[in-house]
A and B are shown apart, each in its own frame.
Chain A
Amino acid sequence: MKKRWSERLGFLALYLAGILVLFFLGVILFDIFVKGVGALSWEFLTQPPRMGMTEGGIFPAIMGTFLVSIITVIFAVPLGMFAAIYLNEYAQPGKMTRLIRLAIRNLSGVPSIVYGLFGVVLFVQMFKLGTSVLSAGLTLGLLTLPWTITACEEALKTVPQSYREGAFALGATKWHAIRTNVLPYAIPGMMTGVILGLSRAAGETAPILFTGAAFFLPHLPKSLFDQFMALPYHLYILATQHHAIEKVRPIAYGTALVLLGLILLLNLSAIWVRYRYRQKMRG
């Protein structure tokens, strides 16, 4: 009798843990959606902020996040892909490979604010790029690099060994085999990882705080060396730094909703790409 009770209680606790995690997510999504949806309008999405950011829209922030994400991808994806190709196709097991893998795992654990510090010194000061959308994009690129490498390597791993051997048997060189028989099959998987990395980069605030994000700009960046507004930083400003915090709360909720919507959309498209890819591999 006693045992049955402990078992029931234990299972109850496990159920509760599962429900609680769902509850956390539910509260976050529900609260942001319900209170943010009222702020949404065509004007909100297409107009710059007005009247000291108490009115108007968040268009420059949306475009800024978009722009900085593109720079992030252009920088991180090729480097991540090449590193993954080395690790999965060329690297021999040994000290050097172990060291590279250790470095990648550690890089993915470096705090985002430390990447921010690194970006300030390296891109803003040493490379003299100034606080700009380019500096911020490069900093975010460094941040996403370890995730990109890992994701691309996972994708390369799913390509069967026989594809490579087939090419070798026909006399192809290593690079030829990779180019024709490995990469085409790994690209969709790589894309999934890249999109997921991108969605995390788009939501990051700490690395862009000092590398290029601007408090307020009525216009879009004119060049890569201009500062920019970004959705996460805009939300931070509206939530803590604004002179009329209570008054701009609806705009803050609206910004949070747009940011969250953007990130969920990216996540969903990653899942979609993965799904299509799996079907293709089966078919």
Chain B
Amino acid sequence: MYVNEKIQETQTGTVLIKLQKPRLKEVLIEKFFLLNGLLAIVILLGIFSLLFIKGFPAIREIGWKGFFGSSVWNPNSYSTPSYGILSLITSTLMVTVGALVIAVPLGVACAAFISQVASPRIREILKPAVEILAGIPSVVVGFLGIILVNPLIAKVFGISNGLNALNGSILLAIMSLPTIISLSEDALRAVPKAYKEASLALGGNDWQTIIRVLVPSALSGIIASIMLGMGRAIGETMTVLMATGNAPALTFNFLDAIQTMTSTIAIELGEVPYNTTHYYALFVIGFVLFLMTFVVNLVSDIILQKYQQVER
């Protein structure tokens, strides 16, 4: 940890080195940096506990069943406000699945294209393009969802309004593509060259090599990238807020307007007074959202760790 220890480590058994006591100043500096490192854990625990503390009064008042056993979200009703978040959860899952259906084949194919097929010049165009796509603010994507995708959907399906789950899925697919492409590409690139050469030597053509050797070998990395893209889609707020119509309803029709968990928080937190049941209920949604993305990210992390160990 300190200079003098390091010397000892490298020469253990050969030379005996007297260890000086590390200077106080050095110890303090290290402690200072350690505190900054610990901050990440503190913030993560802080988010977890604050969301829970703020959500708890609502759970106590409404009960778990009121939240998770009902699909009617209508906190503003004068007679009997209801706080069922089932429809919000299914809406979130719906646009997420819709986005993945579009983004996974496209993203993995694009990653395979960049890493295996494209000439260096095309690669030099595509890679920065993916980076720029990742940098486009979600509010801009949502804006184009209203202006471009909305009339397109209305026209293709002959409906009056194109602000629905399909619109949200398309936009979320675009938002999660860069994550899936760049991480899948890394995974494909990490496959040892010998695999590819062996496949080609056995008479496989380039396509068979990609489909039957490279993609299966990189599968864990690709799945991890998909999970991360999924986490991004679940937590994305502005695009779905602007493009999905915002009508809380339990539906599985992609042409219906829906309201996700994220948009519910975004719409209502600005309108409710602090520290009311409705206010606390929004934190319950936030807490559930946090747990969902946490699990998705954790699974992706575990897959990646395993895969890196195998690689070594």
Interface string of A213-248 (1 = CB under 8 A from B): 000000000000000000011011001100000000
Contact assessment for A263 and B266 in the assembled complex, using a CB-CB cutoff below 8 Å: no
Task: Output the least CB separation between A202 and chain B (Å).
Answer: 8
Contact assessment for B139 and A235 in the assembled complex, using a CB-CB cutoff below 8 Å: yes
If the complex has contacts A107-B43, A109-B296, A239-B146, are A87 and B235 also in contact, measured as CB distance less than 8 A?
no
- Determine the distance from Cα of A257 to Cα of B147 in the docked complex, in whole angstroms: 15
Closest to A13 in B: B109
Contact assessment for A90 and B206 in the assembled complex, using a CB-CB cutoff below 8 Å: no
Task: Output the least CB separation between B287 and chain A (Å).
Answer: 9
Contact assessment for B269 and A117 in the assembled complex, using a CB-CB cutoff below 8 Å: yes
Closest to A238 in B: B143
Give the size of the chain B interface in residues (CB under 8 angstroms).
93
Contact assessment for B137 and A18 in the assembled complex, using a CB-CB cutoff below 8 Å: no
- Determine the distance from Cα of A182 to Cα of B36 in the docked complex, in whole angstroms: 18
> Which of the candidate stretches A45-53, A55-63, A184-192, A203-211 sits at the interface with the other chain?
A203-211
- A interface bracket (residues with beta carbon within 8 Å of B): 35 or more
If the complex has contacts A113-B262, A145-B40, A263-B137, are A106 and B238 also in contact, measured as CB distance less than 8 A?
no
- Determine the distance from Cα of A168 to Cα of B7 in the docked complex, in whole angstroms: 10
Task: Output the least CB separation between A6 and chain B (Å).
Answer: 6
Contact assessment for A122 and B36 in the assembled complex, using a CB-CB cutoff below 8 Å: no
Closest to B173 in A: A24
Decide yes or no whether B217 CB sits under 8 A from chain A. no
**Which residues of B, 274-310, contact A by the 8 Å Cβ criterion?**
274, 282-283, 286, 289-290, 293-294, 296-298, 301
If the complex has contacts A14-B117, A15-B113, A28-B136, are A240 and B235 also in contact, measured as CB distance less than 8 A?
no
Residues of A within 8 A of B133 (CB): 21, 24-25, 28
In this complex, the member of A31, A118, A145 whose beta carbon has the largest number of chain B beta carbons within 10 angstroms is: A118
- Determine the distance from Cα of A239 to Cα of B243 in the docked complex, in whole angstroms: 11
Task: Output the least CB separation between B175 and chain A (Å).
Answer: 10
Decide yes or no whether B210 CB sits under 8 A from chain A. yes
- Determine the distance from Cα of A146 to Cα of B110 in the docked complex, in whole angstroms: 28
Decide yes or no whether A166 CB sits under 8 A from chain B. no
- Determine the distance from Cα of A139 to Cα of B96 in the docked complex, in whole angstroms: 26
Decide yes or no whether A3 CB sits under 8 A from chain B. yes
Decide yes or no whether A112 CB sits under 8 A from chain B. yes
Contact assessment for A175 and B26 in the assembled complex, using a CB-CB cutoff below 8 Å: yes
Decide yes or no whether A174 CB sits under 8 A from chain B. yes
Task: Output the least CB separation between A96 and chain B (Å).
Answer: 8
Contact assessment for A145 and B43 in the assembled complex, using a CB-CB cutoff below 8 Å: yes
Option from B23, B29, B135, B266 in Cβ contact (under 8 Å) with A209:
B266
Decide yes or no whether B198 CB sits under 8 A from chain A. no
Contact assessment for A205 and B44 in the assembled complex, using a CB-CB cutoff below 8 Å: no
Decide yes or no whether B218 CB sits under 8 A from chain A. no
Option from B47, B146, B297 in Cβ contact (under 8 Å) with A118:
B47
In this complex, the member of A28, A100, A104, A109 whose beta carbon has the largest number of chain B beta carbons within 10 angstroms is: A109
- Determine the distance from Cα of A17 to Cα of B298 in the docked complex, in whole angstroms: 29
Interface string of B11-44 (1 = CB under 8 A from A): 0000000000001011001101110111111011
Contact assessment for B39 and A79 in the assembled complex, using a CB-CB cutoff below 8 Å: yes
If the complex has contacts A86-B37, A236-B242, are A112 and B235 also in contact, measured as CB distance less than 8 A?
yes
Of the A-B pairs whose beta carbons lie under 8 Å apart in the complex, a sample of 5, sorted by A's number, is: A31-B144, A107-B43, A113-B289, A145-B40, A200-B135
